[in-house]
Structure 1
Amino acid sequence: MDVPWTSIITHLIIFIYMLQYTYTFKQSGSCYFPERWEGTWFQSGVRQPIVIEGPRLSTKGRCLGSEGDKFLLVDDKRACYRCVVIHEKHVNVLQYKETYCHGREALPSLCAMITGDALLYSMFRETAVSIPCPFRGPFLFAYNRGHGECRQPLSNIDACADDSRLLLSYQACPDVHGSESAVEELECLAVWKEGSSRYLVGKLHHNHATSNEDRFRCFVYEKAAEGEDDVDYRVAQSGDATCNGLFSATEGSRTMTLKRALLQSKCRFPFWLSNYNHWHTLDYSATYSFHHRNSTLKITNSSGAEMKVVCVQIKYTNRDESMIVLVAHFTMGW
Structure 2
Amino acid sequence: MELYIWIYLLASVMWAVSGSECQFPEEWRGRWHEGRRTDISINSMSHKGTCIEREGNKYFMLNKDSNNRKCFKCLVFIQWHPNLLQYKESPCWYEESFHHVCNLINGDALLHTLVKATSSPQPCPFQGSYTFSYINGTMSNLPCESPISEVRACADESKFKFAYKRCNGIPGTYDKEVDFQCMATWENGEKYLYGSFSEPWMTRVEDYMYRCFMHSFYGTHGDMSMSADATCQGLQSPTLGSISLKFTKDLNQPRGTCRFTDILVSRNKWRDLSGAWFLEVEAGLQVLRLKSRKTGDVIKYAEVASALDTSTTKLVIKCVQNTYTAQTKTANVLQTDYITYVTDDECKSGYQCVRLIKRDTNILEMYLGDRLNGTVASCTDANFENAKKDLLIPDVNDAGQCSITRKGVYTYQDKASECTGTVNIGCATPNKITIDTRCPNQRRAVASTHTEKVEILDCLYSWTSGSKTFIIIQNGEQRAKCLTFIDTEIGVVELQSDDSCQSDRWTVSNQYINYVLYSPPDACGGSEIQADQNTSYEKPDVEKHSDTISRAVGLNAGHLATIFTSILLLVMFRVR
Partner of 1:202: 195
Q: Does 1:185 align with 2:173?
A: no
- Which amino acid in 2 is paired with 1:309? I
Aligned pair in 2 of structure 1 residues 323, 51: CA closer, same or farther (>3 Å)?
closer
Match of 2:152 among 158, 172, 182: 158
Residues 19-41 of structure 1: CA distance to partner in whole angstroms, max 9, x if unpaired? Answer: xx9xx979965511111111222
Q: What is residue 12 of structure 1 aligned with on the other side?
A: none
Equivalent residue, structure 2, for 1:173: 167
Between the aligned partners of 2:107 and 2:340, the Cα distance in structure 1 is: 58
**1:52 and 2:42 aligned:** yes
Match of 1:220 in 2: 214
Map Cα deviations across residues 282-328 of structure 1 (whole Å, 9 max, x no partner).
444442233252222222345556211223345x4317564435242
* Residues 1:83 and 2:90 aligned together: no
**Corresponding position: 1:248 with 2:256:** no
CA distance in 2, matches of 1:44, 1:287: 36
Q: Is the 8 A contact 1:312 1:329 kept in 2?
A: no
Contact 2:261 2:336 in 1 (8 A): no
Farther-moved stretch of structure 1 (252-261 vs 176-185): 176-185
Hey, what's the Cα distance between the residues in 1 that align with 2:255 and 2:116? 41
- The match for 1:122 among 76, 95, 113 is 113
Choose from 308, 320, 325 the match for 2:316.
308
Q: Shift of the alpha carbon at 1:48? A: 6.3
Offset from partner CA, 1:116-161 (integer Å, 9 cap, x none):
2222222222222211111112222222223322223332223322
Contact 1:200 1:218 (8 Å CA) reproduced:
yes
Task: Quickly say closer, same or farther: Cα 1:78–1:86, change in 2 above 3 A.
Answer: farther
Query: For residue 116 of structure 1, what is the amino acid of its counterpart?
Result: G
Normalised TM-score (structure 1): 0.78
One-letter amino acid of the counterpart of residue 324, structure 2: T
The answer to whether the 8 A contact 1:62-1:73 is kept is yes
Distance, in Å, in 2 between the alignment partners of 1:327 and 1:129 is 29
Q: Residue deviations 1:232-291, cap 9 Å, x none?
A: 221111122221111211112221112222123533244345445433334444422332
> What CA deviation, in whole Å up to 9, does each residue of 1:201-258 have, x standing for no partner?
111111465654642111111133x7xxxx5221111122221111211112221112
Structure 1 gaps of 5+ residues are 1-20
| Residue number in structure 1 paired with 2:325 | 318
Q: Secondary structure at the match of 2:99?
A: helix
Contact 1:44–1:213, Cα closer than 8 Å, also in 2 = no
Amino acid of the structure 1 residue aligned with 2:156: D
Distance change (3 Å), C-alpha of 1:72 and 1:267: same
The equivalent residue for 1:92 is: 83
The percent identity for this pair of structures is 29
Contact map agreement 1:218 1:238 (CA 8 A) in 2? yes
8 Å Cα contact 2:234/2:242 also seen in 1: no
Aligned to 2:257: 267
RMSD over equivalenced CA pairs, Å: 3.0
Q: With structure 2 as the length reference, what TM-score do the two structures score?
A: 0.48
- In structure 2, relative to structure 1, the CA distance for the partners of 1:120 and 1:26 (3 Å cut) is farther
Structure 2 alignment gaps of length 5 or more: 1-10, 295-310, 329-334, 348-576
Counting matched residue pairs gives 302
After superposition, the Cα gap between the structure-2 partners of 1:154 and 1:64, relative to the gap in structure 1 and judged at 3 Å, is same
Contact 2:88 2:109 in 1 (8 A): yes
Please tell me the residue identity of whatever aligns with 1:62.
T
CA contact (8 A) 1:28 1:65 kept: yes
Aligned 8 A contact 1:268 1:293 in 2: no
Match of 2:130 in 1: 139
Contact 2:121 2:158 in 1 (8 A): yes
Query: 1:125 and 1:98 mapped to 2: Cα distance?
Result: 19
**Closer/same/farther in 2, CA of residues 27 and 219 from structure 1, 3 Å limit:** farther
Q: The residue matched to 2:109 in structure 1 has which SS?
A: coil
Structure number with the bigger relative contact order (C-alpha 8 A, sep ≥ 6) is 1
Check the 8 A contact 2:151/2:161 in 1, yes or no: yes
Amino acid at match of 2:225: A
* 1:72 lines up with 2:46 in the alignment: no
Q: Which amino acid aligns with 2:337?
A: I
Q: Assess if the C-alpha contact under 8 Å between 1:213 and 1:240 holds in 2.
A: no
Residues of 2 paired with 1:42 and 1:283: CA distance? 36
| Greater Rg by CA | 2
Q: SS of 1:267's equivalent?
A: coil
* Distance change in 2, residues 1:256/1:312 (3 Å): farther
Shift of 1:67: 1.4
Amino acid at match of 1:170: Y
* Partner of residue 61, structure 1: 49
